[in-house]
Structure 1
Amino acid sequence: MKRIIRSLIAASCLALTVGCSATGKSNNFIFTADLPPDFAYTARANYVPAKGETCSVPGGRNTQIGFNIEEWRTEYKADSEIELRRTVSGCPLVLYSIELFVYAKYGTHPGDFGRDFGKISVRAQLDERDKDTFNAAGESEFYGQCQWLFRTSGSLRRIVKILDCKDTDAQGKLTRGHPFAAYTLDQLPGKTVRLKIKQAAEEEPFMGDTWVKVPGGWKRCMGESFEDQDAFCNGNDKDFSTFRMPDGRDTCTIYPGCTENKEVTP
């Protein structure tokens, strides 16, 4: 009878898209992400020898598996099927962590993108504050908010943007650090972990004392001259410079609208 049960388990494993371990449990889970438009993620799963193992992998080769690494621009896939246990060079390995990178495009040039990071940690035990739970459907969610920070760069003072992603709770309140979740290895078989990112409604200057807030947006301080790359305001809220937008408009005076501010005198 036991032989028949083992045969049925093996047949089920072959039929399913997710793998099965020797115990009959799934050897995979799904990581996915709900992201704003023009966002994507890459992931890198890191593996270490299983508890009690004294083996090692020569040079650490093949102890990482990447997802969307080269494809995030063109063939991006939201769902990544991640193995929990693997054997490399005869050494049994278990999932240790997943490095996450969130990418976002803001222009058409290949370099017009920002990137920030997050992480999933797989631990033997969890602190109560780090414990992430699953609902009845076998899904667990963690959250983040990404904000664009803008600055000017180069002799044309072209706008470039930096992506800044922070961890939040389910209600969107900023917490500490970057998007993060932690699980035990036993929590994950057959489950789905979802990262949910929202985009901040407003952009802010990357560096302080370089832009002045005005009705309709921000004006770029001139600094010592147009060639001054740092161009700190230093209390001068009268002299401003033009700048170039990522789409090529080059006589802009107010970001992000790229329109001259005409204040109406009452």
Structure 2
Amino acid sequence: MTKKLKALLLGGCMVLSSGCATGTQESFTFTADLPPNFTYEAVAKYAPIKGETCTVKKPHVGYNQRWHLDYKERYKLDSEIPIYRTAEDCRLVIYRIELEIYGAYGKHRGDFGADSAMVIIREQLEDKYKGTFDGNGESAINGQCQWMFRTVGPKRYIRKLLDCKKVDDQGMVTTGRPVSAYTLDQLPGKTVKLKIKLADEEQPGWGDTWVKVPNGWKRCIGEGPEDQRGYCNGNYKDFSSFKMPDGRDCTIYPGCTE
């Protein structure tokens, strides 16, 4: 487990001590439109303003609390993010927002998946790279997330990975992560929204481990239940049972029973 998954980042300027003071009062709102049981974490990154010779030890700020099941009631959807800050007597400007998208698929503490997205902010950008805002001052970062299922352990418990991709202006899912870019002068008073949809179908985490059947997927037996990899290797007739996140013994995914 990474340090990021262990850390609890609290949102808002109240917990940032004196480092939260801004060089100017310019800010923008970051928010999200997410599927049920999804949340996000945003970490804004800052660097010294052009011409400054100072340095800072911790030029990043957590704005949205890192989500976990028993902390969800404290999760904040909207974050007011300053464009300029002053930390350690150094004037800083935002240059990136690193986003982590979280989704829960079960009730246990570890029943979640995560993937990343990003907002890039520069002083200047070519028009073709710049995000656009509508008449209400809102810009959307469109993406689609898909659950990728697999099994782990000798009892073959279902675990899921989250795979999130950018959706382009034509509504097509691309190969890259959800990313958008803006210039500094675009952002004051505006709203940037991460808009994520969930794919209708789940897919196996990787190939040649499950077989598609009319009403779901069957798990190849491999060399037996102790075989952690469980590749089909040409045997598409013998299958193993597996356990759902809620503990049910099943033979077909996602319906459990045939």
TM-score class, shorter-chain normalisation, is 0.7 to 0.9
The verdict on how the C-alpha distance between 1:20 and 1:191 changes in structure 2, with shifts beyond 3 A counting, is farther
Partner of 1:67: 63
Partner of 1:117: 116
- Asked if structure 2 preserves the Cα contact closer than 8 Å seen for 1:85 and 1:94, the reply is yes
The verdict on how the C-alpha distance between 1:197 and 1:70 changes in structure 2, with shifts beyond 3 A counting, is closer
Give 1:119 deviation, angstroms. 0.2
Partner of 1:189: 188
Q: For 1:48-59, what aligned pairs fall within 5 Å after superposition?
A: 48-57=47-56
Query: SS of the residue aligned with 1:201?
Result: coil
Q: Which consecutive residues of structure 1, in runs of 5 or more, have no partner in the other structure?
A: 1-18, 261-266
Q: For 1:14-163, what aligned pairs fall within 5 Å after superposition?
A: 26-57=25-56, 60-61=57-58, 63-71=59-67, 73=69, 74=72, 75-163=74-162
- Asked if structure 2 preserves the Cα contact closer than 8 Å seen for 1:40 and 1:72, the reply is no
Query: In the aligned structure 2, how far is the partner of 1:71 from the partner of 1:201?
Result: 24
1:49 maps to a residue whose letter is P
Give 1:175 deviation, angstroms. 2.2
Partner of 2:243: 244
Query: SS of the residue aligned with 2:242?
Result: coil
* Equivalenced residues, count: 235
What CA deviation, in whole Å up to 9, does each residue of 1:122-164 have, x standing for no partner? 0122133321111221111110000000000011100000000
Give 1:171 deviation, angstroms. 4.6
1:253 maps to a residue whose letter is T
What CA deviation, in whole Å up to 9, does each residue of 1:74-123 have, x standing for no partner? 21111111010011111100001000000000001100000000000001
The verdict on how the C-alpha distance between 1:84 and 1:137 changes in structure 2, with shifts beyond 3 A counting, is same
So what's the TM-score if we normalise by structure 1? 0.85
Query: SS of the residue aligned with 1:255?
Result: coil
Bigger mean CA offset, 144-153 vs 164-173: 164-173
Give 1:172 deviation, angstroms. 2.9
Give 1:21 deviation, angstroms. 6.3
Query: SS of the residue aligned with 1:173?
Result: coil
- Asked if structure 2 preserves the Cα contact closer than 8 Å seen for 1:139 and 1:193, the reply is yes
The verdict on how the C-alpha distance between 1:230 and 1:197 changes in structure 2, with shifts beyond 3 A counting, is same
1:67 maps to a residue whose letter is Y
Query: In the aligned structure 2, how far is the partner of 1:71 from the partner of 1:217?
Result: 31
So what's the TM-score if we normalise by structure 2? 0.87
Which residue among 253, 257, 266 is the counterpart of 2:255? 257
Query: SS of the residue aligned with 1:186?
Result: helix
4+ long deviations beyond 6 Å: none
Give 1:72 deviation, angstroms. 5.4
Query: SS of the residue aligned with 1:220?
Result: strand
1:259 maps to a residue whose letter is T
- Asked if structure 1 preserves the Cα contact closer than 8 Å seen for 2:28 and 2:191, the reply is yes
Query: SS of the residue aligned with 2:185?
Result: helix
1:257 maps to a residue whose letter is G
- Asked if structure 2 preserves the Cα contact closer than 8 Å seen for 1:142 and 1:169, the reply is no
Q: Which consecutive residues of structure 2, in runs of 5 or more, have no partner in the other structure?
A: 1-20
1:159 maps to a residue whose letter is I
When Rg is computed on C-alpha atoms for both structures, the one with the higher figure is 1
Partner of 2:15: none
Partner of 1:7: none
2:217 maps to a residue whose letter is W
Partner of 2:14: none
Query: In the aligned structure 2, how far is the partner of 1:131 from the partner of 1:211?
Result: 42
Query: In the aligned structure 2, how far is the partner of 1:232 from the partner of 1:21?
Result: 57
Give me the CA root mean square deviation: 1.5
Identity of aligned residues (%): 59
Query: In the aligned structure 2, how far is the partner of 1:80 from the partner of 1:31?
Result: 5
Query: In the aligned structure 2, how far is the partner of 1:244 from the partner of 1:161?
Result: 13
